[in-house]
Amino acid sequence: MRWLAVALALAPACFNPKFDNPTCGPNGECPPNSTCVAGACVVEGPDDASVDPDGDPDGAADSNGVTCQGTGVWEVCAATMPSTPVALATTSLNTTTATLCDPAADFTSSTQPDVCVITATNITITGIVTVQGARPLVLFATGAITIGSGAVLDVGSHRLTGVGPGAPSAGCNAFAVTPGASANGGGGGAGGSFMSIGGNGGVGGKDLAAAGVAAPVSQMPATLRGGCNGQTGGAALLAGGAAGPGGGAVFLVASTISVTGSINASGAGGLGGSQDAGGAGGGGSGGMIVLHATSFAGSGGGKLAANGGGGGGGAGSTMGQPGSDGSVTTLTVPAAGGNGGAGNGCSGTATGGAGFAATVPATKGTDGPASGECGGAGGGAGAGYIRANAAITGATVSPGLTIVP
């Protein structure tokens, strides 16, 4: 059954409607329209036909005003029926602090993370909306969510401008081998792994410093989560190149979803090795996009990307170049690795690995030439996860869409 759990504050006369602490009062007290069942205050979920003879559909409010959409652990409820639309042009949104986040809306499942939920009758995106912050983003509309032509909902991570919402995930697996440090060439960091494996880093130069080895692939995710960071490169005279962060996470739930623009949850590129033989950072994996709707309309030309970032280039006497971020513009083209730094006999050949795109796996970072004092390159990063409850006709999706009705 779908139940919207409601919490009771410590004083019986003071009720706090928070979903993740469904405790009855000491004598079984609960607020109006709810009942104490096995120690929890519960109210009827709007789609539970077994207790609701009206069989309210997704997005309809029941007698106590609660409205829910989604299914199973992906059900989100708002305490009151949304009454106004939200229109977003080009803007930045931080899920940690945004006033648009509805504090009385949440997943009904306690397994889901803390999220920022924006509730509305309709949500329309017409420009580039860049999202960062500690919490994944949820867009909840009782009517339509529309991402217009040329518009971008960007929850990806970017090497120069920040980390997507909810990234990295606490559920990322540990890397298998840490890059070695050496003044003659640090090892390159591996790319992040999520739904596909990241590329390993490259071996350091003269001393053959160990290359970073990628973490295993994650299990199919059952909760909303960000992607996985790459691995920092091995140090030489200075610290190794920083890892690229994994992409962020977003869940769209509405009656109708239309994407003729783009949703980007790709990972960022790793930084190049620091001058004088530093190992480079690995790229960050793609994040997560989940969509649930009664219908997907007008999605021709739409793009959804959760690609991996490229690895940085290993350093010679000069720094290696950073890897490219995963892209939603050319989402079937892998993010390129950075070029290696020249000098120290390195010839700039320690090029970073490419990130995952389309069906092309991430690749390994190039080894630093053993004839010189050269850092190893960073590995490219693996794919994120894109899921919907039905096919999205006419959209280009990378990685491929997972359909879970």
For 234-293, the pLDDT digits (tens) are 999 999 999 999 999 999 999 999 999 999 999 999 999 999 999 999 999 999 999 999
Give the SS3 label for residue 145.
strand
Where does the pLDDT of residue 4 fall: very low under 50, low under 70, confident under 90, or very high at 90 and above? very low
| Distances from the Cα of 354 to the Cα of 191, 228, 280, 324, angstroms | 9, 16, 13, 8
Secondary structure in 3-state letters for the chain:
CCEEEECECCCCCCECCCCCCCCCCCCCCCCCCCEEECCEEEEECCCCCCCCCCCCCCCCECCCCCEEECCHHHCEEECCCCCCCEEECCEEEECCCCCCCCCCEEECCCCCCCCEEEEECCEEECCEEEEECCCCEEEEEEEEEEECCCCEEECCCECCCECCCCCCCCCCCCCCECCCCCCCCCCCCCCCCCCCCCCCCCCCCCCCCCCCECCCCCCCCCCCCCCCCCCCCCCCCCCCCCCCCCCCEEEEEEEEEEECCEEECCCCCCCCCCCCCCCCCCCCCCCEEEEEEEEECCCCCCEEECCCCCCCCCCCCCCCCCCCCCCCCCCCCCCCCCCCCCCCCCCCCCCCCCCCECCECCCCCCCCCCCCCCCCCCCCCCCCEEEECCCCCCCEEECCCEECC
- Report whether 155 contacts 247 (CB < 8 A): yes
| Distances from the Cα of 351 to the Cα of 144, 193, 297, 402, angstroms | 45, 20, 42, 33
32-36, 73-77, 130-134, 186-190: segment of lowest average pLDDT: 32-36
pLDDT in the model for residue 26: 57
pLDDT in the model for residue 53: 28
The span from the CA of 153 to the CA of 303, in Å, is 10
Q: At residue 40, what is the residue type?
A: A
Which of these, 137, 119, 49, 114, lies nearest to 80 by C-alpha position? 119
Residue 394 CB partners (closer than 8 Å, separation 6+): 299, 300, 301, 302
- Torsion angle (degrees, nearest 10) of CA 131, 133, 136, 142: -50
Give the pairing type, strands 35-37 and 40-44. Answer: antiparallel
pLDDT in the model for residue 21: 39
pTM of the entire predicted model: 0.86
| Distances from the Cα of 175 to the Cα of 211, 212, 310, angstroms | 11, 8, 17
Task: Record the tokens describing residue 4, joined without a space.
Answer: 């919207």
Phi, psi of 73 (to 5 degrees): -70, -5
**362-400 confidence digits (pLDDT tens):** 999 999 999 999 999 999 999 999 999 999 988 999 999
Where does the pLDDT of residue 40 fall: very low under 50, low under 70, confident under 90, or very high at 90 and above? very low
Tell me the average pLDDT across 69-85: 94
Task: Record the tokens describing residue 243, joined without a space.
Answer: 């890892």
pLDDT in the model for residue 300: 76
32-46, 62-76, 161-175, 255-269: segment of lowest average pLDDT: 32-46
pLDDT in the model for residue 157: 98
Taking 60 as the threshold, does the pLDDT of residue 44 lie above it? no
Task: Record the tokens describing residue 393, joined without a space.
Answer: 């006709």
